Amino acid sequence: MITDKNVNSVVPFVEDILVGSFSKILYANIVTGEYITFKKGDMLDEEGFDDLPSIFDYVRKLVEDGLIYPEYAAACLRYANPDYVRKRVFSGERRIIQSYKRHVGDSYRWITFAMVAPAGCSPENPWVLFTWRDSDTDTTSMVDTLSTLSNLYYKILKINVTKDTFEPIKVEDREQEELVLKVESISEWWKIYVNSDRVHPEDKEVYRLFTDIAQIREQFREDSSQRLSCQYRRLGPDGEYRWVQMDLVPSIEYTDSNQVLIFFVKDVHEEHMKQMNDRQELLEYYNRDALTLLYNRHKFNDDLKMLNGLEITRFTCLYVDVNGLHEINNHLGHQAGDDMLCAVSDTLRKYFPEETLYRIGGDEFVVISLHLSKRSVERIVAEIKSDLLQDNYEIAAGVDSASDDPEALSVYKVVGAAELAMRTDKEEYYKSHAHDRRRRGLNEELEKVLTEKKYEEYFLKIIASHFAGVYFVDMQLDSVRHIYIPDFFAELLQKCDYCYSAAIKLYADIFVKPQYNRAFYRLLDYKYLSESLKQYGVVRLAYEKVDGAEMELQILSINSDSEKNECVWIFSDISKQNNWLATEEKPD
């Protein structure tokens, strides 16, 4: 049973607990600013504060006298703004709490400020309690942790996108002066900020889209657990733009009807630049030919697309094809072919800037220029051909140029015309050099290879008079070394990218009567062919061509080396010669 005596003894105890824990208590009218001091602790050194006319002057003087740690000055100054305080209290907030560091004695201590409005608080009864006390252990630990984390950010705001308001947690000095004390809504802050010189001109639209408050509301209603991020360039104290990142994350107070978010901004310049450099290195790797290190076809296509959209006044293209690359690969090996390609690319570098050079195919190179004329490039081509000939390498080249009305100039037409000119040059080369192969160092190497083995010497003696075609075939690589090859079959090989089985299949489809096609296809099963050669030593096929010629194909195993797995295919026209193989001397 509670008696008056009990109550009288409890009241001092409760009063001591409630009032004794506070360093200062004021009762303030937030309309007129007048206030009554209920309690003032000795620990707070506030000389010159007694005669201040309003509560708002009192709060402002705390900041102006340096009693508030600079990092929290902006947050405290919000409570020196009458309109801000009234708006929050009269909108229904009963208790507003802010923790910050305050200078006490010789050091800073964590203080918890609270503004408590009674249930009947209104513009007609605008009295509110202002209190200050030492922060408890839990609060101190929490704010210390937040303070340490805030070192990663130069701006932290608590924003309410439902009410379009904000509370500064950490803001740099310049923005405190320009925005914190002058605007009340976060949408207004963002609008002023993006229209200032603080945001790089190229990033203003990105900033506007990210800070569209209606869009933010909708995005968080769809997924309230997400984190929104955006990067832009911000003007730094040194007058240089640096990359920063904005983040929006939901507060613990967040609900769909009261969307409270935390807005962070941090400097990510070094990290961003490293990512950009890594991305550029990756793009450079993606755009480079691995062998010659020239730009590749992907880069060539991108550059043509870009140039075709520009109003350029001149465009010249040199299209180059290396003569004899496939022959070198087949006879001397791919390393010799790679050496040839590198020699061509290095020679092109001597005469043209590297950013204009491309290797767009196995043996095709392109040079583009926005400055050189067609005649100038043709003179350079003559020097390039002369340089390469000293190493027994030769190229076919075509040049075309256009300098018409920029709106009508098509880089694709110029490239196509240059390629056509190169094809013409290549045809002329093979016509004029068909019986003069000794001009190229390749022939000496071929003769050396061919005369090292008796069976090859035997074939060389009788090719001209007896065979319709003789090919050394590597069944593992599906490639061919040409010993005697008629022109029509050379064209088939070229069409099939020098794949021997594909060329033979095309030969059977075009020149052989249909009833023999299955037999040809069977021979192109190299596993079957290899086993047959091991068992019988030779495989023969008699067939007829569509023109009525009677032909014989003999396939002989010539190499026991499992790595090469070579055989020789001998085609002869038996309608003209009568089984010559039975009368000729065979190799030992």
Statement to judge: residues 278 and 296 lie in one domain: no
Statement to judge: residues 301 and 427 lie in one domain: yes
Give the pLDDT score at 507.
Answer: 93
Three-state SS for 579? coil
Domain assignment present for residue 6? The answer is: no
Give the pLDDT score at 293.
Answer: 87
Statement to judge: residues 384 and 315 lie in one domain: yes
Statement to judge: residues 474 and 574 lie in one domain: yes
The residue with greater pLDDT, 408 or 56, is 56
- 514-561 pLDDT, tens digit each: 999 999 999 999 889 988 888 888 899 999 999 888 898 989 887 555
- 448-478 pLDDT, tens digit each: 444 444 444 444 444 444 577 888 888 888 8
Statement to judge: residues 65 and 111 lie in one domain: yes
Domain end marker among 237, 259, 287: 287
Domain assignment present for residue 587? The answer is: no
What does pLDDT average to over the chain? Answer: 80
Give yes or no for residue 168 having a pLDDT over 90. Answer: no
- 266-275 pLDDT, tens digit each: 888 888 777 7
- 135-160 pLDDT, tens digit each: 877 666 666 666 666 667 778 888 99
Domain assignment present for residue 10? The answer is: no
Domain assignment present for residue 9? The answer is: no
Pairing of strands 357-359, 241-250: unpaired
Domain assignment present for residue 3? The answer is: no
Which of 24-38, 177-191, 521-535 is predicted least confidently? 177-191
Structure tokens at 267: 């400097």
Statement to judge: residues 321 and 394 lie in one domain: yes
Statement to judge: residues 240 and 360 lie in one domain: no
Statement to judge: residues 304 and 420 lie in one domain: yes
Domain end marker among 437, 470, 485: 437
Which of 51-65, 160-174, 215-229, 429-443 is predicted least confidently? 429-443
Three-state SS for 393? coil
Statement to judge: residues 210 and 321 lie in one domain: no
- 83-137 pLDDT, tens digit each: 889 988 888 888 888 888 888 877 888 888 889 998 889 999 999 999 888 887 7
CATH number of the domain where residue 419 is located: 3.30.70.270
Statement to judge: residues 318 and 422 lie in one domain: yes
The total of structural domains in the chain comes to: 4
Domain end marker among 287, 317, 347: 287
CATH number of the domain where residue 498 is located: 3.30.450
Query: H-helix or E-strand containing 430?
Result: helix 411-433
Statement to judge: residues 509 and 409 lie in one domain: no
CA distance 66 to 177: 16
Give yes or no for residue 254 having a pLDDT over 60. Answer: yes
Statement to judge: residues 178 and 254 lie in one domain: yes
Strand order in the sheet with 260-267: 165-170, 155-160, 260-267, 241-250, 228-235
DSSP symbols for 227-281:
-EEEEEEEE-TTS-EEEEEEEEEE-TT-BTTB-EEEEEEEE-HHHHHHHHHHHHH
Distant-in-sequence, close-in-space partners of 226: CB < 8 Å, separation ≥ 6: 219, 220
Domain assignment present for residue 410? The answer is: yes
Three-state SS for 183? coil
Can you give the residue range of the structural domain that contains 253? 152-287
Which of 5-14, 157-166, 480-489 is predicted least confidently? 5-14
Region 222-234: what's the mean pLDDT?
89
Domain assignment present for residue 44? The answer is: yes
Region 478-506: what's the mean pLDDT?
82
Pairing of strands 107-116, 35-40: unpaired
Domain assignment present for residue 234? The answer is: yes
Give the pLDDT score at 583.
Answer: 40
Three-state SS for 74? helix
- 559-576 pLDDT, tens digit each: 555 456 788 888 888 776
CATH number of the domain where residue 123 is located: 3.30.450.20
* Residue type (1 letter), 325: L
Region 51-64: what's the mean pLDDT?
88
Give 249: exposed, middle or buried? Use CB within 10 Å, 0-12, 13-18, 19+: middle
Pairing of strands 260-267, 241-250: antiparallel
